[in-house]
Amino acid sequence: MVKFRCVRSLAGVHAGVAILLAGAAGPAQAASPAGATDFQQVVADAADEFQVPEAVLLGVSHQASWWEGNGGRPSTLGGYGPMHLTDTTAGRAYPHRAGEGPVDSTGTADPSEHTLNAAAELIHVRPDRVRTDERDNVRAGAALLASYQKEATGTRPEDPGRWYAAVARYSQAGDRAGAAAYADAVYRSIRTGLVRTRKDGRRVVLPADPAVAPEKGQLSMLRLRRGIPRAAQAECPKTLACRFVPAAATNYQVASRPGNKIKINTIVIHDIEGSYQAGVSTFQDPASGVSAHYVMKSDGSQTTQMVADKDIAFHAGNYWVNMHSVGIEHEGFAARGATWFTPATYQATAELVRYLAQRFEVPLDRQHVIGHENVLTASATSVPGAHWDPGPYWDWNRFMALLSAPEKPEKQEKQEKPDGKDRWHRRDTVRPGEAVTIAPAFDRNVQTVQVCGTKLAAGAGRPTAGGAAGRSAAAGGGAAVECAPRTQPSNFLFVRTAPRHDAPLFPDPALHSGGAPGSDGISDWGSSVVTGQQFVVADQDGEWTAIWYAGRKAWFHDPQGLNTEPAPGARIIRPKPGSAAVPVYSTAYPRPDEYPGGLTPSTQKPLGFYTLPQGQAYVSTAPPQQTDDFFRATPTRAETVVTGSETYDVIQYNHRLALVRHQDTQ
């Protein structure tokens, strides 16, 4: 994550994928299916009111939001409601904090960033109602679609296939490729059909209509510019609109991975905390000292590769991790207003990750596809300030489902019975010493965090210690930071010092010295576990499960296994009998005596505040890793890889991954 001000724009959702509705067929203008839910009826009413084919309205809404209203909260593009109507001006009220980089103030007058206001005018309601009321949001989106259709063709035909121009324009893409990608995705959904249960438990159906034939020639009516030509050197799947814009030469290292025996085994997901263009510009700035291999535009319409995959980008705050990874940055802002990522973001990123995983044989699991928040920095002094993107609102359940079954993005539906009852009501008991995977259902896992903004006078709110309600003054009586609670579906669980809700939050020793408890601040990563992480069970007490975490027991609420799944295949490591507490590292460099003359050894030093004590056990997320280091080529020296004789185990130590010497464990 590189932090700066965010500006958002709405454009085409990238290629969509659909779950087939078995046995469903028929014309799109047919009556709504029997047992239609409230949302289904809202769409039917809006389609009738504005003479938009119901299939078109359902298809567009699914591509825009997966039929979700998200409680009136904005997406990373500044979009609201099931129709994802944009209002970036409202989002700009979120504060810019010192140290977050330059404020990006470009583009806010672009009409594509203000479709909500335009749509609200069409139905004669206030914009705030369109932001928060699902019925008016759908009505406004339907009215906007109808206006686009009328402007393009002068008609509002019943045939869904004749709405191609309106659907393409709804994307707000600035080029033909992005608009066509959006429209094609919508029409694929219409032809194959969709079924999904919303977060509120209500089922929505788009009946399949394979006879629909989109009139793609209508795209020329929009007079859009042609897309940026695909650069020959861009390493992307053919389905992505991808270009290559090189990062500043000082912001990465030229290498020849994996041909030089440095294996690429990790893909790191980031959130920029800013706009797409600001991310590209920052990585082009030699003074920034940072880069990523890819930058993803949130609407899915464009991907910029900035560092060749063979080269080492400076993206994770840990050079050894950088050596073995590819970094993907996303336009967005985890801490300043955005509360959900669009379908376009997940779909386009999933395509890129699948492509990279196939090329470099990276396992598609949460031990190898990780967030920046899972990476420990290389030095002990920088751990407290380690980045925590993509943050609590990246839906790992949905994203990993797209990776494992791209043809069925609604795979998480399988967590529910047809009657909507929770299928995770009970699991077999997991005993202490066995491994579990953290697995809360994202939509039902509602958590509250404190989000802090601009500096105010002393006495203003701060994250609350231990997660207790209320506010506390700034430490030392100095300037304080205004904080506000945010409660919504999240990808994490809080961990505590004892099996009760009022117990202090876990005090990670890198973040809270002197026995101070953890806090519920959104950036306090040391008191939480995230979907997909694996830990060893240390104890159980009623509805609470304890895991070994950062050198001691950490408890989280897990009634009847609601928030975990057994991990019977996990590799578990423990300190060797009779040994002292095992040192914990964040890198795996060779010993100094293993470096050739003339090369300065990298520092391999344990993190003093972390250890792996006797009696504890942790999940090793990968086979033992050989120590290695890299030195770029110079005019007098060829590229050099130093490989050591020792191996290290990568373990899920706390919220982040860590390393221990293999010879110290069993």
Give the CA count within 13 Å in the CB-facing half-sphere of 150.
9
> How far is the C-alpha of 301 from the C-alpha of 184, rounded, in Å?
13
Give residue 105's pLDDT: 34
pLDDT cut 90: percent of the chain above it? 66
What tokens does 460 get?
């203003």
Q: What is the DSSP string of 516-565?
A: PPPB-BTT-GGGEEETT-EEEEEEEETTEEEEEETTEEEEEE-GGGTTEE
Question: Coil, strand, or helix at residue 652?
Answer: strand
User: CB–CB of 534/570 below 8 Å?
Assistant: yes
Least confident span in 9-23, 34-48, 97-111, 262-276: 9-23
Q: What is the spatial distance between Cα 95 and Cα 107, in angstroms, rounded to a whole number?
A: 18
pLDDT reported for residue 19: 30
Q: Which residues lie across from 451 on neighbouring strands?
A: 484
Does the pLDDT value for residue 415 go beyond 70?
no
Q: Could you write out the DSSP letters of every residue in 325-386?
A: EEEEEESB-TTTT--B--HHHHHHHHHHHHHHHHHHT--SSTTTEEEGGGBPPSSGGGGGG-
Mind giving me the DSSP string for 376-427? PPSSGGGGGG---TT-TTS-HHHHHHHHH-TT-TTGGGGGB-TT--BTTS--
Tell me the average pLDDT across 577-597: 96
> Can you say whether the dihedral through the CA atoms of 219, 222, 225, 230 is positive or negative?
negative
In the predicted model, is pLDDT for residue 13 greater than 50?
no
Question: Is 242-404 assigned to CATH 3.40.80.10?
Answer: yes
Give yes or no for residue 244 having a pLDDT over 90.
Answer: yes
pLDDT digits (tens, 9 = 90+) for 557-581: 999 999 999 999 999 999 999 888 9
- The torsion angles phi and psi of 482, rounded to 5 degrees, stand at -70, 130
The count of residues in the chain is 666
3-state DSSP: the chain helix, strand, coil percent, rounded to 5? 25, 20, 50
Greatest distance between any 2 Cα atoms in the chain: 83
Lowest mean pLDDT among 265-269, 344-348, 467-471, 507-511: 467-471
Average pLDDT over residues 77-97: 67
CATH 3.10.450 fits 38-222, yes or no: no
| Per-residue pLDDT, 5 | 27
Domain boundaries, the chain: 38-222, 242-404, 424-569, 582-664
Locate 272 and state its tokens: 């920029």
274, with CB counted inside 10 A (0-12, 13-18, 19+), is buried
Question: Confidence band (pLDDT; 50, 70, 90) for 258?
Answer: very high
Sign of the CA dihedral running 358, 363, 367, 368: negative
The Cα–Cα gap between 519 and 468 comes to: 8
Between CA 306 and CA 246 the distance in angstroms is: 5
Q: pLDDT at position 199, please? A: 84
Taking 60 as the threshold, does the pLDDT of residue 528 lie above it?
yes
pLDDT, tens digit, for every residue of 124-176? 999 999 999 999 999 999 999 999 999 999 999 999 999 999 999 998 877 78
Q: Look up residue 472 and give its amino acid.
A: S
**In the prediction, which pLDDT does 455 show?**
36
The arithmetic mean of pLDDT across residues 335-352, rounded, is 82
Q: Which residue has the tokens 């033992």?
A: 624
Q: How far is CA 617 from CA 301, 578, 586, 638, in A?
A: 45, 15, 18, 42
pTM: 0.81
**Do residues 615 and 647 touch, judged by C-beta distance below 8 A?**
no
pLDDT score, position 575: 98
pLDDT for the residue 664: 97
Distance (Å, whole) CA 127 – CA 72: 12
Higher pLDDT, 1 or 355: 355
What is the token pair recorded at 265?
């085994």
Is the predicted pLDDT of residue 418 greater than 50, yes or no? no
| Closest by CA position to 165, among listed 179, 144, 175 | 179
| Per-residue model confidence (pLDDT) at position 335 | 54
CB 202 within 8 A of CB 38: yes
Q: Is the peptide bond before 390 cis (omega within 30 degrees of 0)?
A: yes
480 within 8 A of 460, measured Cβ to Cβ: yes
Tokens encoding 45: 């009413």
CA distances from 30 to 130, 208, 471 (A): 27, 11, 55
Cis, bond preceding 409 (omega within 30 deg of 0): no
Is there a contact between 272 and 330 (Cβ–Cβ < 8 Å)? yes
| φ, ψ for residue 366, nearest 5 deg | -75, -5
Task: Give dist(CA 517, CA 297) in Å, integer.
Answer: 38
pLDDT at 414: 37
Quote the strand ranges of 96-167, DSSP E: none
H or E segment and range at residue 243: strand 242-244
Q: Tell me the average pLDDT of the chain.
A: 84
The pLDDT of residue 544 is: 98
Q: At what angle do helices 38-50 and 54-65 cross, to 10 degrees?
A: 120
Residue 196 burial (CB count, 10 A) = 20
Query: What pLDDT is recorded for position 531?
Result: 98
DSSP string covering 596-612: PTT-PPPP----TT-EE
CB 527 within 8 A of CB 507: yes
